[in-house]
Amino acid sequence: MAVLAGCTAAQTTDPAMSTEEVAAYITTEPTIVEIQAALEKGEVTSEQLVGAYLDRIDAYDDEGPALNAMVYVNSDAVDTAASLDEERRESGSRGPLFGIPVILKDNIDTADMPTSVGSVALGGSTPDEDAFIVTQLRDAGAIILGKANLQEFAYGFATTSSFGGQTLNPYDLSKNPSGSSGGSAVAVAANFAPLAFGTDTGGSIRVPASATSSVGIRPTKGLIGRSGIAPVSTSLDTVGPMATSVSDIASALDLIAGVDDPDDPVALGSDATRPDSYLDALDPDALDGARIVVLDDAFGESPEAEEVNEVMARMEADLVAAGAVVSHISELGFTSESAMQNDWEMEAAFDAYLQDYGPDQEGVTFAEMTRNGGIVTDVSASLQALVGGPDTTDPSYEREVVQPTTAFIDAFSAFMEDNDIDALLYPSAKEAPSALGVSNWGAVNAFLASSAGAPAISFPAGFTSEGLPVGAELVGKQFDEATIIGLAYAYEAAHPQRVRPSTTP
């Protein structure tokens, strides 16, 4: 991990909690609402929180199990926290994330820290401007604690990169944390910050959340502005929060939902469709009467899938006991036959991203980066296959990508509405996390929500007999994040499944 400067917690004046008490406090995984209440009461300061989280990064990311989740730590984090504490004393809080430390996946641009996208091709380069989501976070008074490792170029499910190396799963250091937002998932699972942000093209938030007993949401396509985020697919990419509780997901969405560019092809008017607050959805009785459909086709049949299926069966029984109306279907009955969108979109989109990056990447192209070597082997081969291929200006793009994708979105929306379904349910991955170096691509269940442009939340469902996390995924109707947040929250409140990893006590 690159530390941009020495970062140690400064002493505060007569804090209500001692340094040792703050260290213990954050391991209880208080929600952002609870932390904010403690900050308001003066029981803890943002400076203390930053110091405690940085100490954990030192102890467990750099030393101890050496999880390797972080690639940068923000040298200004302590000073920023101190200034926000002073602002709180003088003029009060700006809102729910004021003074809260957060971590960003390192494909989200920050003007004060490099954005590597996990690659030596970009490592050490710093963009000119913050991403839209980062501007929102800073304006709200959130503290950017650092940047997390990712699968190189956010292309795959392993969280290994030429710039950041291999991130380890804190529940079993020999297992994959999955990806591509695995660094962000491990960071929240190991309590390096209460909140992290990842990106999701085909499951890159939800699958690592599942693998680390965390919560992650893929918002509806178009809910959150994407400028300043390194792209994979212009028609599939989203950005979203990751945390240890559903409550924190709601707190984050309240702040970051919004469209930055009306010309973004997936900006679908989220300003007119989102609720006043996603926190209003946190109803412990939300499951009572909810109509949930289990998608049987998303369950595995391998020996490795058996325990995942058992965990999901227990969850289904709990849902029924809570009053949910649960039914099963074997398959949706319709499918998307479009080409992989990134095959057509990534090269041109990444070139456009590089043009806006700033002087550090002036004149550089996607083709040059993939040719220059150093990129993780399997990622390099995949990216090089995209160079010089058909793009969105090709006449067949409309026929082979846009039309079938639109048809799938329309069919999914009609299916949910016509059958009065609140959410689909299935395991986020058919099998428990795989061994390092072993791809779990075939076990991933995340492509449905991505293709449908629909919101999906992954949350802890339990563990296998070997102590490996199992995540459940709920998929809802477009812009109906509130419903799936409410359902996940109600299950979490009645049947909490998260257990902190023993490697990071």
**Catalytic residue annotation:** 105, 180, 204
In angstroms, the CA 191 to CA 248 distance is 13
- For residue 386, give both structure tokens: 């995209």
| CA dihedral of 40, 45, 50, 55, whole degrees rounded to 10 | -130
Place of tokens 């999701």: 200
In angstroms, the CA 163 to CA 463 distance is 32
In angstroms, the CA 429 to CA 210 distance is 7
In angstroms, the CA 332 to CA 419 distance is 12
Helices (H), 193-338: 206-211, 246-256, 306-321
What is the spatial order of strands in the sheet that 143-148 belongs to?
A: 2-3, 70-73, 143-148, 101-105, 195-200, 238-243, 215-218, 456-463, 469-475, 423-427, 291-295, 325-329
Say if CB 436 and CB 166 are below 8 A apart.
yes
- Identify any residues that bridge with 229 across adjacent strands, giving them in sequence order: 108
How many other CB atoms are there within 10 angstroms of residue 18's CB atom? 10
In angstroms, the CA 347 to CA 383 distance is 9
Phi-psi bin for 204: left (phi > 0), alpha (psi -120 to 50), beta?
alpha
Phi, then psi, of 64 in degrees rounded to 5: 55, -125
Please choose, from the candidates 245, 257, 181, the residue with its C-alpha nearest in 3D space to the C-alpha of residue 219. Answer: 257
Q: Which helix H or strand E contains 295, and what residues bound it?
A: strand 291-295
In angstroms, the CA 51 to CA 44 distance is 11
DSSP state of 11: P
Max distance between CA atoms of the chain, in angstroms, equals 68
- For residue 264, give both structure tokens: 């973004």
Burial 364-382 (b: 16+ CB within 10 A, else e): bebbebbeeeebbeebbeb
- For residue 26, give both structure tokens: 């954050």
DSSP state of 359: G
